[in-house]
Chain A
Amino acid sequence: MITLNVNGREYAVDADPTTPLLYVLRGDLGLNGAKFGCGLGQCGACTVLIDGEAAYSCVTPIAALAGRRIRTVEGLGTVANPSPLQQAFIDEQAAQCGYCIAGMIMRAQALLDRNPHPSGEEIRTHMQPNLCRCGTHARILRAVGRAAGKPSGAKA
């Protein structure tokens, strides 16, 4: 039995300690925001925050996570009351199929948490590991820029 702290709540998880966090989030805890993309830490669809830093939940075994703070997209806001970053994604309509977006938002959140006003270049560099197969990158960068206080439509 491993106790995981997810979005400020403690969960006692009965799973093999080698199980990737992603499977536990989705299969055991019903937190379906993070997505399974490649399962190899290459695409970023599964990105969550661990102790405030973006991590690939698909290659992180839960054995590594006792006593650490995990944050998923469900921990940011709700449908009725989205977080500023989520609202920025809505305002910029920064999703096509939407599969990568939870990961994109969580990676961006890690940046904004330590630097609320990153430059466009810093945003691009930081977001580089996450992939979007629909090609919505321009809107995604605009959404992160908007959340970072840049005027709408500004080049991220």
Chain B
Amino acid sequence: MWPSPRSDGLVKLGIRLAALAALIVGVTAGLAAAGRAPPPGLGTWPDRAMIDNGRTLAAIGNCNVCHTTEGGASFAGGRPLETPFGTLYSTNITPDQETGIGRWTAEDFRRAMREGMAPNGRQLYPAFPYDHFARVDLRDIDAIYAYLMTREPVHSSTPPNALRPPYGARPLIAVWKLMYFHPEPISPDPSQSSEWNRGRYLVEGLGHCGACHTPRNAMGAEESNRNLSGGEAEGWHAPALNEGSVAPTRWTVDSLVLYLRSGFDEHHGASRGPMVPVTRNLANIPEADVRAIAVYIASLAGQSTTGPALAATREQLAATDAQDAQAAVLYEGACASCHDRTLNGVPLENSTAVTDVVPTNIIRVITDGLTPIDGEPSRSMPGFRSSFTAEQTAELVRYIRARYSHAAPWRDVEAEVAKIRAEHPSRSAS
């Protein structure tokens, strides 16, 4: 049960007093003043440097993204995760004794992170990316433990998972692990810089970039021989980060740092969908780690580039306009005022959504816009779900592809438009 508003007020007052105490006498003493025992297994409260390091690492690992539900307390879990096998609910990883990980020892936490197993011997679903976390140093895992165990405990139970039979049977996970879970430690490559090695360690380990950017097989395991060659996340396409990158302008270290920290780079576009909370987390950590990630990713993307279809050649423009006069009018009326004539809109010849291997992302953005996430002041692009019909949307998507990229036309644009519009059939432009 939730406390009544009155006792909630008292609890909040207590929390504020505890926070004040922490400010005055330091975190460790503050937590002691709040009457909490140190995490089991540590014996004493961890020091500030360890907690701060854990905060950075937890942000790189995006723990909060899955372990926080919309409008819920950070790390208190309950977020539904749609998988091909049904719906999983993320767990509460605050140090609450009953509903969280308050009774976990550092050793329990290490085992969950590296082996995918809870303290009671229960197998954890690989939606929790322990295939990546298994490659993280114990020292870093312990720092994340120290950080999480010094958060405010939140009493919040996780809804039961809703998986289709037979996937609800956890012993099956042991079989899955036998088949697909063979983590190898990341040993430094001496031919590369320490920055590159740090980046690889973060990307392939804690950052678990491959969880979205690597394709998965029918059993939900990442196809390790196609690492970072493009995958799927919550109905969005996660573009290839390796030499298969479709970015018209080659990613550089600087453009990646800018994109990863601000969510926007004019030569590539805006981070949207499931990438938004990732870039928000990376905005709040020391730049050196983001730069290391950028150095590694930029090295993977290599030389691949077709070059932007630079506002297309005059001939190409005239050809596409004549071929699809109706779409050209829609584009001119709805898109051009921002994308062609202001400094704020991404020039579409630079947009990865336009050159991507599937039209999924551009259809999502045209249909529902770039909707603001929690705390953003406004949207940067409106959705056109109710302005355009499905047919008009498809026409426009094909037109933009032809006009602003050198790539071959997409197939099945209509089917993808229909699928995306069917998700929220009655949602208005927002």
B415 at the interface (CB under 8 A from A): no
Q: Is the CB of A60 within 8 A of B430?
A: no
Complex interface: chain B residues within 8 A of A68 (CB)? 389
User: Contact flags (1/0) for B374-414 with A, using CB distance below 8 Å?
Assistant: 00001101101111110010000000000000000000000
Q: Is the CB of A56 within 8 A of B333?
A: no
The complex places the Cα of A59 from the Cα of B369 at a distance, in Å, of: 12
Q: Is the CB of B386 within 8 A of A17?
A: no
Residue from A40, A51, A129 within 8 A of B430 (CB atoms)? A129
Residue from B334, B381, B426, B428 within 8 A of A64 (CB atoms)? B334
Q: A40-B338, A107-B428 are in contact. Are A59 and B382 (CB under 8 A)?
A: yes
The complex places the Cα of A54 from the Cα of B389 at a distance, in Å, of: 13
B326 at the interface (CB under 8 A from A): yes
The complex places the Cα of A93 from the Cα of B119 at a distance, in Å, of: 59
The complex places the Cα of A146 from the Cα of B96 at a distance, in Å, of: 41
Q: Is the CB of B332 within 8 A of A18?
A: yes
User: Contact flags (1/0) for A59-77 with B, using CB distance below 8 Å?
Assistant: 1111110001000000000
User: Contact flags (1/0) for A25-59 with B, using CB distance below 8 Å?
Assistant: 00000000000000111100000001101111001
**Chain A nearest CB, measured from B286 CB (Å):** 34
Q: Is the CB of B333 within 8 A of A55?
A: no
Q: How large is the interface on A (under 10, 10 to 19, 20 to 34, 35 or more residues)?
A: 20 to 34
A7 at the interface (CB under 8 A from B): no
Complex interface: chain A residues within 8 A of B389 (CB)? 64, 68
Q: Is the CB of A18 within 8 A of B333?
A: yes
Q: Is the CB of B334 within 8 A of A53?
A: no
Complex interface: chain A residues within 8 A of B427 (CB)? 53
The complex places the Cα of A20 from the Cα of B338 at a distance, in Å, of: 14
Complex interface: chain A residues within 8 A of B329 (CB)? 17-18, 61, 63
B330 at the interface (CB under 8 A from A): yes
**Chain B nearest CB, measured from A70 CB (Å):** 11
**Chain A nearest CB, measured from B29 CB (Å):** 41
The complex places the Cα of A51 from the Cα of B389 at a distance, in Å, of: 10
User: Contact flags (1/0) for A1-26 with B, using CB distance below 8 Å?
Assistant: 00000000000000001111000000
B429 at the interface (CB under 8 A from A): yes
Measured CB to CB, the residues of A under 8 A from B are: 17-20, 39-42, 50-51, 53-56, 59-64, 68, 107, 110, 114, 126, 128-129
Given A19-B333, A54-B386: 15 more A-B contacts, CB < 8 Å: A18-B329, A41-B382, A42-B379, A51-B386, A53-B428, A54-B428, A56-B429, A59-B334, A59-B382, A60-B387, A63-B330, A64-B334, A64-B388, A64-B389, A68-B389
Measured CB to CB, the residues of B under 8 A from A are: 326, 329-330, 332-334, 337-338, 369, 378-379, 381-382, 384-389, 392, 426-430
